[in-house]
Each structure stands twice: as structure tokens, then as C-alpha cells.
């Protein structure tokens, strides 16, 4: 229901309203922007004026389908830097859009809530898709018939407690090697691949509190090295304290051997694949012994 005071204001002969965008990054940093030419403050946030953020055409679909909207903005805000945008620190940020009476900010209404997609840069303008809450209705739900587990490591259906010291540790990243891999401090007991598909979170620096996804974990001459899915574009000063959480490739083998969690496996490892009908006996393979095949 529309704010009564704001509705009365909108029904008047003249209005003093503006749009305000509240952005909250995955690391918890909050910024505010407005179409008004002076700052507007409410909810403990000061919404900056000018061309910090603006919206293009928005579409709304029937039958609960996800609509589309694009936001764009000039990089004129000191709090929203080009480097942070290029580094992906604002990808998937949470967004709230308000209509506000700038003469009395208590007269306001939350119009939309959602998240930003991937932020891209075009000359001196950044662009991103605004994903409304309705986009969740287009995501697949329920169990999936797949060899891989459809649960996420650490969620309720998985059951693994990632806060356990066996899975999550605080340690130091000492350097970035010539191959752009992060080097973990000291000699460690973890096997190669232990942190593959896991997350790394720095405690300080430009990536502080922003979870970074690990692509692979290798060991070279006793040194543990991590490759990330996305490159680090912001300059870091090492050593840096970080939290490392192990990962899972969602296979039956990892669930059974790495986590001893086979009872909670949410995949179908014995399900025949699409090419099963083409498979025939392989007399040259020692594996053709009548045992069950596990994907």
C-alpha cells in the first residue's frame, strides 16, 4: 500500500519527488544515489545527487515472468570507482529503488527490489541489468536428474558445517606468482585440489569481505597455489590475511571420500548417461567386469 503521506503529496497540484537507489555490495558496502540535485538522507544513508545512477526503459511481464531493466551511470561519484566496477566488486549487488519526497524524505515508497547483474563498462559509462525478484521464478527448483549433486556445499540439504576448522581456515596469502596464482603461506597438510571450487575472502585491502571463487588448488615444490575464476585487477600488498573454505566438485567421489557425506548426496551417480544406448561391451578394458558404473 502506497505511503499515505506520499500519496497525498502526489495527489496535489505540484510534487517534489525524486528517485533514490540504494546499492549494497556482496561485501556489505552500501551506497546511495538520487536523481535530485541535492543530497537526500534517510535510513541512515546519504543518497548522492547527479549522474551516479539512472535507469533506462523497464518492462514488466505478465504471468509472473521476469521483466527487464537496464541501469547506467557516469563514473562521477568518488565512492563508486571505476576500478571497483572493473574488479566485479558490485556484481550481484542488492538494489532498492525508492520514490521520495525530497522536501520530506519520510514520505517515501519502496518501488522495486532486486539485484544487479554483471557490471560492464562502455567508455565513461557503466551499464548493468537490474534483476527483479521475479527472476527467481525462472530459476530451476527441485531435484535435478544428474550425476552431480544439486546441493550447494554447506547448505541445509548438504549438511556439511563449513564453520568447522577442518573445512574453513584463516591463514596468510604471501604473494602473487608469475602465473597470477596466489601463494599460501608455509608448509601445509592439505592435498592438491582441497581448495578447488572453494572460496577465499581477504580480511583487508580493496577486496576485503568480498568472497572470491577458487578455480583450482595445486602444489608445486611444496608451495600451495590458488587460481581464481576471475583475475585480480586491483593492486594488493602482500602478505594478506584471508579465510579459505574448501570446495566441492559435486561428484559422488568427492561427497563419499572427501566429506564422508554420501547419505546426503543429492545426485544420481548410477543413472545411465545419454550415450548409454550406444555403449557396448569393451573386451579390451579391465573395467568391463560386471560392476556397477558410478558417474
Q: Are residues 95 and 44 in the same domain?
A: yes
Which residue segment(s) compose the domain that 182 sits in? 168-245
Q: Is residue 93 part of a domain?
A: yes
Average pLDDT of 62-84? Answer: 59
Name the maximum alpha-carbon separation found in the chain. 87
pLDDT of 123-171, one tens digit each?
666 777 777 776 667 666 677 788 899 899 999 999 999 999 999 999 9
In contact, 49 and 71? CB cutoff 8 Å: no
Q: Are residues 110 and 181 in the same domain?
A: no
Q: Are residues 80 and 175 in the same domain?
A: no
DSSP string, 237-294: -SSEEEEEE------HHIIIIIS--GGG--S-TTS--TTGGG----TT-TT-SSPPP-
Q: Are residues 24 and 111 in the same domain?
A: yes
* pLDDT band at residue 270 under the 50/70/90 scheme: confident
Q: Is residue 103 part of a domain?
A: yes
Q: Is the pLDDT of residue 112 over 90?
A: no
Task: Tell me the C-alpha distance between 198 and 245, whole Å.
Answer: 5
Please give the backbone phi and psi of residue 7, each rounded to the nearest 5 degrees, phi first.
-60, -40
Amino acid at each position: 500500500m502506497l505511503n499515505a503521506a506520499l500519496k497525498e503529496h502526489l495527489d496535489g497540484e505540484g510534487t517534489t519527488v525524486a528517485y533514490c537507489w540504494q546499492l549494497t555490495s556482496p561485501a556489505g558496502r552500501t551506497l546511495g544515489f538520487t536523481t535530485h540535485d541535492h543530497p537526500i538522507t534517510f535510513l541512515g544513508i546519504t543518497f548522492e545527487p547527479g549522474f551516479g545512477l539512472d535507469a533506462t526503459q523497464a518492462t514488466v511481464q505478465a504471468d509472473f515472468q521476469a521483466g527487464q531493466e537496464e541501469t547506467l551511470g557516469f563514473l562521477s561519484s568518488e565512492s563508486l570507482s571505476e576500478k571497483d566496477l572493473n574488479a566485479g566488486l558490485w556484481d550481484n549487488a542488492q538494489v532498492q529503488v525508492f520514490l521520495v519526497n525530497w522536501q520530506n524524505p519520510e514520505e517515501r515508497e519502496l518501488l522495486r527490489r532486486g539485484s544487479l547483474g554483471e557490471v560492464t563498462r562502455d567508455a565513461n559509462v557503466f551499464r548493468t541489468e537490474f534483476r527483479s525478484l521475479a527472476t527467481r521464478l525462472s530459476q530451476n527448483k527441485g531435484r535435478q536428474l544428474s550425476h552431480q549433486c544439486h546441493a550447494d556445499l554447506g547448505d541445509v540439504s548438504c549438511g556439511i558445517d563449513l564453520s568447522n576448522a577442518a573445512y574453513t581456515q584463516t591463514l596468510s596469502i604471501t604473494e602473487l606468482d608469475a602465473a597470477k596464482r596466489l601463494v599460501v603461506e608455509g608448509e601445509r597438510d592439505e592435498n592438491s585440489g582441497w581448495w578447488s571450487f572453494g572460496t577465499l575472502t581477504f580480511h583487508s585491502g580493496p577486496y576485503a569481505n568480498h568472497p572470491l571463487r577458487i578455480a583450482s588448488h595445486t602444489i608445486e615444490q611444496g608451495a600451495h597455489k590458488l587460481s581464481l575464476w576471475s583475475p585480480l585487477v586491483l593492486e594488493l600488498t602482500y602478505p594478506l590475511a584471508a579465510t579459505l573454505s574448501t570446495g566441492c566438485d559435486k561428484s559422488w567421489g568427492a561427497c563419499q571420500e572427501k566429506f564422508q557425506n554420501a547419505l546426503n548426496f543429492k545426485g544420481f551417480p548410477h543413472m545411465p548417461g545419454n550415450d548409454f544406448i550406444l555403449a557396448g561391451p569393451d573386451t579390451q578394458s579391465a573395467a568391463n567386469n560386471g560392476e556397477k558404473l558410478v558417474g
